[in-house]
Chain A
């Protein structure tokens, strides 16, 4: 419900810019768009690099790149998928440059999980650990679906735009993925 309203607001603002004779996203809008997207971009990058300092650094790079390239954005309604595409590229560069892997070492991750969910019941701890294991074994694209939908909180249309796949296909894969994960974790 509210996702729609928020997006409507963004769309309306940008359409009004057009009515005022401004045909591209203006720098005045940029601050508002930054505020709207900053947290989700940060969370998305954190889910990739699993380190706050690196995620903040990459988020800074993402928005600076977006600002520099703002005049190239032809359709201001596509700001969100555009900025997430930049964020994804920054994350790829990060791993490529440092020859890092996108997931932390499995044993380390388990230790970290233990600390995080230590207060949960044993059954819940086991279930979350199982879920983490299952997610870590998904292929990169499936992991990306989860990050973009659940962590970055994007609607399917924008995920489709980022991944250049038909929206219906993304939805189909996403819901099947959830179904499969749920079945596996409840085995």
Chain B
């Protein structure tokens, strides 16, 4: 499950999702099974058992491979990098020894059992994993209008201080059980090996019903020395680190232009202009490096809708020094990379987060079989809003549009300051409103704002950027009561497509 931050949880609340009806899902499952052709009896006689064992074997093999690959030089006590990547935990500060739960804790109240299964403590935070038994119906939040428990879990320390949870996630564990993870951003100081985990109430229960102020005394101990930790480096400008030991970014021997932008092999340079993409972090895995690049994002806050200054219709690409495009990672690795990127985001400062949150991308760089340095390229189009205040009003017959199955041709030239484009037609849209069809070929316009004067829309939309035909675009407005008769559409804030920029960066491991 996605690890929702508090604001995303608030958004989720607005959907007022109902309790699911288990009977419905069971009935549908039975219906689906009845419609399925019966598999041959001998095809997979012990499928579930065999697969269960296979998981266990696969997990053990994976652990074994990791231990062999990492070797004793990379065990916890010898890690020198300030950051490390711990599988299933993420990017963590390694400046102090990791700790874990000394022993699981369990308790039952009001028919609910909580098992505190594990904890991982590092210098920059704590993750606690627990399972909870099914909630009895009488305390479960099932109806709209009932207040639901939404108080965050917290830790109290021996000195009385308190650390509140910063986020949580839940989902299936490898053994099939369902577990919850709580993330605390503030660390438990190294001098405290005890803490009390407090559940003010239980998520999913009605406020005032079920266990409240439920406390678990936890004791921590050092994590095992053979814990798999992959060294990670965050570049100094992005993090407060000392002595990065793993890799250098942009080594001095690398060819560079006067602007500092790495020189790429000619065959992979295709933007009208090049700008630099920075390396945010590097993780060293046994056979590869995970290198995360990003470019600074920009947007214009004065634009009512979609003020982004870069249009990014292309995927990032990685090349080696021969100009050979390197393959994208497989599905499994990609999932790990996203997990890693989420933990990297947690390490970025607020300012860095604003710049890089949405542009960072991690590539897998093989340790062998390629020629270094590698080059990452992200092509984007520039957008600009040269006329933010001016507008043009166009009158049209709304009744005629709503009565027509096809868009009604308008063919009205729009000139807003220096920007020229055309309102080709207006049609009714399926959601209850009007769609305005534009041709921005003359002025390289790819987007604008269009709304009916005197009416409040309850929803708006626009066509996605189409790199094959970027200048034909659509803007739609929907209304609770569709306005008809003679109407005025106000057209403003045209976005003008600029040149293609290639953000590029290069990297090679330390010799």
Contact = CB atoms under 8 A, between A and B. Distances in A.
A156 interface: yes
A1 B461 CA distance: 34
Given A116-B16, A168-B359, A31 B33 contact: yes
B181 interface: yes
Contact of B358 (A1, A42, A157, A173): A173
Contacts, number: 224
Please tell me the size bucket of the interface on A. Answer: 35 or more
B169 interface: yes
A8 B335 contact: yes
Given A2-B1, A9-B55, A168-B315, A46 B431 contact: no
Contacts of A172: 297, 308, 312, 358-359
Given A153-B2, A155-B2, A135 B14 contact: yes
A1 B36 contact: no
B459 A140 contact: yes
Interface of B: 1-4, 7-8, 10-18, 20-21, 24-25, 28-29, 31-33, 35-37, 39, 44, 47, 51, 54-55, 58, 88-90, 127, 144-147, 169-174, 179, 181, 207, 297, 299, 305, 308, 312-316, 331-332, 334-336, 338-339, 354, 357-359, 361, 378, 430-432, 457-462, 464, 476, 478, 480
A106 B479 CA distance: 10
Contacts of B36: 27, 30-31, 67
Contact of A175 (B24, B89, B173, B357): B357
A11 B336 CA distance: 13
A128 B89 CA distance: 32
A162 interface: no
A169 B313 contact: yes
* Dominant SS among interface residues on chain A: helix
A46 B147 contact: no
Contacts of B316: 168
A132 B55 CA distance: 43
A135 B1 CA distance: 22
A72 B87 CA distance: 35
A8 B62 CA distance: 13
Contacts of B39: 26-28
Contacts of B431: 95, 101-102, 140
B171 A6 contact: yes
